Structure 1
Amino acid sequence: MDVIVKPTPSLKGQFGALSSKNYTTRYLLAAALAEGTSTIYYPAHSEDSDAMRRCIKDLGAVLEEDDEKIVITGFGRHPRQASELNVGNAGAVLRFLMGIAAFLPDVTFVNTYPESLGKRPHDDLIDALGQLGVEVEHRQGRLPIRIRGGQPRGGKIKVSGSVSSQYLSALLFLTPLLEEDSEIEVLHDLKSKVVIGQTLEVLEQAGITIHASDDYMSFKVPGRQAYQARNYTVQGDYPGSAAILAAAAVTQSDVTVERLMVNSKQGERAIVDVLQMMGVPLTHEQDTVHVQGNGKLKAVEFDGDAATDAVLAMVAAAVFAEGTSRFYNVENLRYKECDRITDYLAELAKAGARVEERQAEIIVHGRPEGVEGGVEINAHFDHRVIMALTVVGLRAQQPLVIRDAHHVAKSYPQYFEHLSALGANVEWVK
């Protein structure tokens, strides 16, 4: 389905942030890897987190869920044999489970999104699994991927971090369960280091010990560990909230978003700092962000590596800023559901934004007067692109039609419902 975003001068309202997708998927996996029963309060519901639910059930976990919580009885280090696993379009879920699949004698991850996840590479994780004695069949690093494991062994492991931190996270979930101790060395640069902090936080809560260097480039992992059954509470989601906050920043607004922890380890928390740098009137106290936007913004320069999933929303706000903004160190945006630099900027340009790209940079020449709009744009089946383009549509002079906007459900199924409740003029069309 497509959505029409019409010019909206003001937004007003209050609601609680969506639960974090990143923490939900990690807690679901940690609970599945425990022998015993864990409870996760306020888990996220999205296509990604539901993919993790589906796959851990296929591997033998028992799940019982109500409106407040999910109770999981795990399979420990003995997942049930499954001939196929379908992660949908969830890249992180695929990579985390490729690690756990090392315990299975033969499993194939199928390709149901050939135009999105099916195009994304996983070579670096495949190479690392090979060092554990796991055989992997693949098509130039892409789905479908067949894993023949059963007897993974620890030791010295090298993994590149230059494309994604998810490969490292997969190894950090797996290696504590191996018989041998492991040493993991990260090659090249490590993208999205802050997300590794989230993984380590969840592992610590699950009773796992990992010794990490200060720069997260090397890890010592004792083997023969066991995940402990625990109770977890999922915090509010900054990546999804980033677009809501950006929308409030570019309009006349009085918007309050609750459940956004002030001291969260989510790198996308930086959306609050960046909007403040842009001169947006807002406060962040007692885990609540209050934006009283006036539509006036200043240009910024920002290193986006630590806040990958909020950069597109920041760029959308910068479209209307006074001056030229620069978002650098963002090359890993190219390896997401689409090329979030080339593809996103092409659609912004269609709408009337003045943007430039470099290999690892996005440059925005702001238009405080607004953009023309009045066009149909392609979100490339990418939930983050959909949300960010919507922000631009609110300040366009003519409506924007965003194609295939239903793919926002990958991370934030209620996005347009929440925006409408704030007064945004959006309409679904078939």
Structure 2
Amino acid sequence: MDMIVTPTPRLQGTIGALSSKNYTTRYLLVAALAEGTSTIHFPAHSEDSDAMRRCIQDLGATLVEDDQKAVITGFGSHPSDVKELNVGNAGAVLRFLMGIAALCPDVTFVNTYPDSLGKRPHDDLITALGQIGVEVEHENGRLPITIRGGQAKGGSIKVSGAVSSQYLSSLLFLTPMLKEDSEITVIDDLKSKVVIGQTLEVLEQAGIVIHASEDYMHFRIPGNQVYQAKTYTVQGDYPGSAAILAAASVTESDVTVERLPVKSKQGERAVVDVLQMMEVPLTHENDIVHIRGNGKLKAVEFDGDAATDAVLAMVAAAVFAEGTSRFYNVENLRYKECDRITDYLNELRKAGARVEEKQAEIIVHGRPEGVEGGVEINAHYDHRVIMALTIVGLRSKAPLRIKDAHHVAKSYPHFFDHMKTLGAKLEWV
């Protein structure tokens, strides 16, 4: 389905932030790896987190859920002998479970999104798994991928973090369960280090001991560890809320978003700091962000590596800022559901934005007067692109039609409902 975004001069109201997708997928996984029953309060519901729900049940976990919580009885270190797993279009779920599949005899991850996840490479994780005795069949590093496990042994592992931190997270979930101790050394570089901080936080809560160097480039993991059944509470989601906050910033607004912890390890929390740097009138106290927008913004320069999933929303805000903004160190945006640099900027240009790209940079020449709009744009099946283009539509002179906007459900199924609650003029077609 397509979404028509009609220019909307004012947003007003209060919403609660959706629950964090990143934390939900990690809590679901560690609960499944525990021996016993865990409870997760306020888990996120999105295509990604639902993919993790589906896969851990296929692997032998039981899950009972109501509106407030999920109760999971785990399979521990003995997942079921399942032949196929379907992660949908969820790259993080695929990569986390490629590690866990090393505990199974023979699992094939099927390719149901050939034009999106099916195009994304996983070579670095495949290479790392090979170092601990896991045989992997693949199509040039891409899906379908078959893991022949059961023989994994701890030891010395080298993994590249240059493309994604998810490969390292996958190994951190797996190696504590192996009989032998392990050492992981990150080579090349490590993108999105802040997300590794989230993985380590969740592992510690699950009773797992990992000795990490301060720069997250070297890890010592004792073997023979057992995940403990625990109770978890999922915090509000900054990546999704970044789009709401940016929308409030580019319009006349009086918008409050609740459940956004002031002290959070989510790197995308930086969206609050960036909007303040752009001189957006806002306060952030008691886990509540309150924006009284006047539609006036100043250009900004920002290192986007630690806040990858908020960059597109910040770029959308910068489209209307006075001056030239620069978002740098963002090459890993190219390896997401689509190329979030080239593909996204092409669509912004159609709408009338003045943008440039380099291999690892996005440069935005702001247009405080607004953009023309009045075009149909392709969101490339990417939830972050859909949300960011919606922000642009609010300040376009004519409506934008966003193709296949229903794919926003990958991370934020209620995004358009929340935007309508705040007064955005939106219509499904």
Counterpart Cα distance in 1 of 2:169 and 2:240: 21
1:408 pairs with 2:400: no
Amino acid in the other structure paired with 2:172:
L
SS of alignment partner, residue 14 of structure 1: strand
Report the equivalent of 1:160.
Answer: 160
The residue that corresponds to 1:134 in the other structure is 134
Structure 1 gaps of 5+ residues are: none
Secondary structure at the aligned position of 1:208 is classed as coil
- Partner SS state of residue 158, structure 1: strand
Task: Give me the whole-angstrom Cα distance separating, in 1, the residues matched to 2:52 and 2:415.
Answer: 21
Distance (whole Å) between structure 2 residues aligned to residue 140 and residue 335 of structure 1: 16
Question: What is the RMSD of the two structures over their aligned residues, measured on CA atoms?
Answer: 0.3
1:185 alignment partner, SS class: strand
Is 2:398 aligned against 1:394?
A: no
Per the TM alignment, residue 321 of structure 1 is displaced from its structure 2 partner at its CA by 0.2
Corresponding residue for residue 57 of structure 1: 57
The question of 1:235 aligning with 2:235 is answered: yes
What secondary structure, in the 3-state scheme, does the structure 2 residue paired with 1:340 have?
Answer: coil
Q: Percent identity?
A: 83
Aligned-pair distance for 1:151? 1.7
**How far did 1:167 drift?**
0.1
What amino acid is aligned across from residue 350 of structure 1 in structure 2? K
Are 2:197 and 1:197 equivalent residues in the alignment?
A: yes
Structure 1 counterpart of 2:81, which letter?
A: Q
In structure 1, C-alpha distance between the alignment counterparts of 2:381 and 2:74, rounded to whole Å: 33
Distance 2:250 2:378 in 1: 22
Counterpart residue number, 1:250: 250
- Output the amino acid matched with 1:384: R
Q: Offset of 1:116 from its aligned partner?
A: 0.3
1:360 maps to a residue whose letter is: A
Task: Give the corresponding residue for 1:216.
Answer: 216
For structure 2, the 5+ residue unaligned runs are none
Q: Distance in 1 between matches of 2:275 and 2:67?
A: 33
**TM-score, normalization: structure 1?**
1.00
CA offset digits 1:344-372 (Å, max 9, x no partner): 00000000000000000000000000000
Q: Does 1:337 align with 2:337?
A: yes
Paired residue secondary structure (2:223): coil
Taking the aligned partners of 1:423 and 1:103, their CA distance within structure 2 comes to 49
CA distance in 2, matches of 1:195, 1:210: 16
Partner of 2:235, secondary structure, is coil
After TM superposition, which residue ranges in structure 1, 4 or more long, deviate above 2 angstroms? none
Instruction: Return the letter of the residue paired with 1:174.
Output: L
SS at match of 1:279: coil
Q: Secondary structure at the match of 2:236?
A: coil
Which whole-Å deviations, capped at 9, do the CAs of 1:17-71 have from their partners, x for residues lacking one?
0000000000000000000000000000000000000000000000000010000
Question: What are the equivalent positions in structure 2 for 1:246-325 lying under 5 Å apart?
Answer: 246-325=246-325
Calculate the TM-score normalised by the size of structure 2: 1.00
SS at match of 2:332: helix
Residue 15 of structure 1: CA displacement? 1.1
Q: Structure 2: how far apart are the matches of 1:301 and 1:15?
A: 29
Match of 2:34 in 1: 34
Q: 1:63-212 maps to which residues of 2 (within 5 A)?
A: 63-212=63-212
Q: Deviations over 1:188-224 (max 9, x none)?
A: 1100000000000000000000000000000000000
Helix, strand or coil: the match of 1:314? Answer: helix
Structure 2: how far apart are the matches of 1:301 and 1:68?
40
Give the corresponding residue for 1:419: 419
Superposition pairs of residues 7-18 of structure 1, within 5 angstroms: 7-18=7-18
Whole-Å separation in 1 of the counterparts to 2:138 and 2:383: 26
Deviation at 1:102, TM superposition (A): 0.2
Residue by residue over 1:96-119, the C-alpha shift from the partner in whole angstroms, topping out at 9 and shown as x without a partner, is 000000011111000000000000
Aligned residue pair count = 429
Q: 1:353-393: per-residue Cα shift (whole Å, max 9, x none)? A: 00000000000000000000000000000000000000000
Alpha-carbon distance in 1 for matches of 2:151, 2:137: 17
